[in-house]
Amino acid sequence: MTFALTVLGSGTVAPSAARAAPGHWVEAGGARLLLDCGAGVLQSAARHGVPWETVTHVALSHFHADHWGELPHFLFALRWGIEPARADPLVLLGPEGLAERLEHLERAYGPWVRDPGYPLEVIELPPDGRRALSGDVELAWTRTQHTEESLAYAVSHAGRRLVYTGDTGPTPTLARWAEGCDLLLAECSLPEDRAMAIHLTPSQTGELAREARCKSLVLTHFYPPMETAQPARGAAARYAGPIAAAQDGDRFVIEA
């Protein structure tokens, strides 16, 4: 059974010629899940041959604009950007406050936001929990140290588990929650000399991976100073497993 991650956006709010804002595409069994939907994610999907129109679920980690700013475009593209227009349902998941934000978007863009011509289910998530997505694919989530509402996600399928940190600062609770995962997709925002409480540096990301005893580590969410900071090397000082510094378009298969 397929279980794979394709990085659509390994960047941040800072415009980059090479990196879209956050977006990560997960194929797991019958689910096609987009984790975050930042600016440039749709173009990146088109550029890298990712069948974005087959999406079944979109899960937002938090409400910073670079993590969900392209959501209206995405919903609109599923209605008007493909032929024939979508009929399959779409499930949109995110922190508490998601429904109210969609009401605001509806006032700005029009009624299609919540009634796009295909069934749209909006699910607000409590701070911790889990639910089935489809078949034997399960989504779990927990709070992170970033904003009031920010969440990390875990996708489980066929005995394997991918954890996406979303945005977070260093916190031991996240390592315990991610314990033993097969692939840890972790934010790695800033170099060591720019460390802050709500993001991770390479060594902090490596420490998270070590404490979580994950089987592999993929770094993402790079602010421009990271382009010359060799993040994989910094993380390797704390974590001995395989590490990749993501580029947009990279695909990682999560093996059994």
Q: Which residue among 27, 70, 167, 207 contacts Zn ion (CB under 5 A)? A: 167
For residue 107, the minimal CB distance to Zn ion (Å) is: 24
Would you count residue 149 as binding Zn ion (CB under 5 A)?
no
Our CB check for Zn ion shows the closer of 32 and 146 to be: 146
Three-state SS at 252: strand
Q: How far is the CB of 67 from Zn ion (least distance, A)?
A: 6
Shortest Cβ distance from residue 10 to Zn ion (Å)? 11
Q: Which is nearer to Zn ion, 61 or 156 (CB)?
A: 61
Q: How far apart are the first and last CA of the chain?
A: 9
Distance CA 102, CA 165 (A): 24
Distance CA 36, CA 256 (A): 25
Q: With CA atoms as reference, report the closest residue to 212 among 201, 222, 204.
A: 204
Name the one range near Zn ion by CB under 5 A: 97-105, 159-167, 171-179, 224-232: 159-167
Q: Judged by CB, which is closer to Zn ion: 167, or 248? A: 167
Q: Where in 55-84 is the site for Zn ion (CB under 5 A)?
A: 64
Binding mask 23-62 for Zn ion (x = CB under 5 A): ----------------------------------------
Cα–Cα distance measured from residue 90 to residue 50, given in angstroms and rounded to the nearest whole number: 17
- Tell me the closest approach of the beta carbon of residue 21 to Zn ion, in angstroms: 8
Binding flag, residue 161, Zn ion (CB under 5 A): no
Site for Zn ion in 194-253 (CB under 5 A): none
Rounded CA-CA distance 131/146 in Å is 23
Nearer to Zn ion, 23 or 116 (CB): 23
Q: How far is the CB of 12 from Zn ion (least distance, A)?
A: 5
- C-alpha distances in Å from residue 204, one per residue of 73, 139, 171, 209, 219: 34, 25, 10, 9, 11
Query: What value, to the nearest 5°, has the Cα angle with vertex 251 and ends 98 and 87?
Result: 45
81: left (phi over 0), alpha (psi -120 to 50) or beta: alpha
Distances (CA, A) of 234 to 19, 63, 151, 219, 222: 20, 29, 25, 11, 13
Closer to Zn ion by CB, 25 or 164: give it: 164
**Shortest spacing between CB 39 and Zn ion, in angstroms:** 12
Task: Output 70 or 167, the one with its CB closest to Zn ion.
Answer: 167
Local structure of 118: helix, strand or coil: coil
- Positions in the binding site for Zn ion (CB under 5 A): 64, 167
